[in-house]
Structure 1
């Protein structure tokens, strides 16, 4: 088993569940990012076991290029570069059934939700824009972005109780 077997299996699973014309490298990266963040929020760990780094189009799993290469060498997937609206796009096809035995049902459910949301509801551009947030802006290009930091940067609704607490804290400091 490779160090990133769970990442390889997650990539293979996503590729097996998406039509090639609906899934390019950008959407693959975003499905993994949002799935790992959602799973981390609920269970305190990631699905893939990979770390994310800041790249031009948002946070990406650091070892996805190695994972896709390894999956191709094993004959589990195949990919090819195509032109998509005048731009290069990498499309993926699963050649074998994905092994999901390393994942619990919650992980599969979250990945499936992200596949549905991203592949069927977004373009690569629109989903990339969603990851260009304060967290992404605060990191240097190539810097690791911890999953826990994504939770700290989420927009939360400020309630009346929050305001009252803040006012009490300010009065106590005065």
Structure 2
């Protein structure tokens, strides 16, 4: 699945920025993964990153962007010799005079991405459109994950974890990776895997310990900044407490759904997409749909339905994805012609 997301993220970038070059394309994947890792503890697209002179590059993305394949037509740069300019060895110096050019052969399949993943792709791509490739490379050079390795060395994914200064620098540069959603997701996701793997039913002491953590999350919830999502969050909290008592196998799926919805709303608000890009009513509709979905899941868990989304909630899940895509389409339409390539 991750390889498919990588391919379709690249397709999405090429479809929405026909002038994007290879350096930006590789950095697009890197920044998506960097933000996602710091909020979710894993990468979205990449599995292997190599330290390169212009910044980290995902190995499979590097290969996919190097020559034509089943997904892209790739026109590689040509070089031109400049007569009269000699190197120390007596050879003519040459340099690239045109960038890589990409043309997609198939359309990006955005159904592979959750609402948050979809809006993250769009946010990073929009940020890059107004940056020069060299500037983007310079940003990557400020992180320890690049500084502490040599060209050609593999960068362990755990090095994607940024320290507070690096998170602040990323925010300063215009990308958002910090906030309550990071605290929540990096706490609840591993906890949910642990809960699901424990002997069932959970002991009362264990349930009390987990609920104490949930209480801390509620106390730390950022009001009034994320007030629009608060009812949905409380609905998620009710569903999660229910799964602790009825069937902890639901916990990882429920945690992933809560994280995605929270990250989506937090990202939209933190990057100030309202009211410039689209209406607050659209985001409110998204939150209401998420709240209904969590309530449906809570009721299903209480009835001890196997740990998958109940059939009558399929429409709600599709609505979340469709709504996120509609929001992003509205964002694209709202841009001035000068701001689009």
Q: Deviations over 1:111-167 (max 9, x none)?
A: 11110001x22111110111112411111222222343233345167xxxxxxxxxx
Match of 2:43, SS? Answer: coil
Match of 2:138, SS? Answer: helix
Query: Cα–Cα, structure 1 residues 129 and 107, in superposed 2: closer, same or farther, change >3 Å?
Result: same
Q: Say which structure is richer in helix.
A: 2
Q: Give the total of aligned pairs.
A: 151
Q: Say which structure is richer in strand.
A: 1
Q: Which residue of 1 aligns with 2:155?
A: 145
Q: 1:98 aligns with which of 92, 96, 108?
A: 108
Q: Which residue of 1 aligns with 2:130?
A: 121
After TM superposition, the structure 1 = structure 2 runs for residues 1-174 of structure 1, keeping only pairs within 5 Å, are 4-19=3-18, 21=19, 23-68=20-65, 72-74=68-70, 76-82=71-77, 87-118=97-128, 120-135=129-144, 136-155=146-165
TM-score under structure 2 length normalisation: 0.40
**Contact 2:66 2:76 (C-alpha < 8 Å) held by counterparts:** no
| Structure 1 gap ranges (5+) | 158-174
Mapped partners of 2:76, 2:164: distance in 1: 35
Mapped partners of 1:54, 1:77: distance in 2: 24
Match of 2:11, SS? Answer: helix
Q: Pick the structure with greater CA Rg.
A: 2
- 1:41 positional shift: 1.4
Query: Cα–Cα, structure 1 residues 128 and 54, in superposed 2: closer, same or farther, change >3 Å?
Result: same
Report the aligned-residue RMSD.
2.6
Mapped partners of 2:150, 2:132: distance in 1: 25
**Contact 1:14 1:28 (C-alpha < 8 Å) held by counterparts:** yes
TM-score under structure 1 length normalisation: 0.74
Q: Which residue of 1 aligns with 2:317?
A: none
**Contact 1:7 1:67 (C-alpha < 8 Å) held by counterparts:** no
Mapped partners of 2:62, 2:104: distance in 1: 16
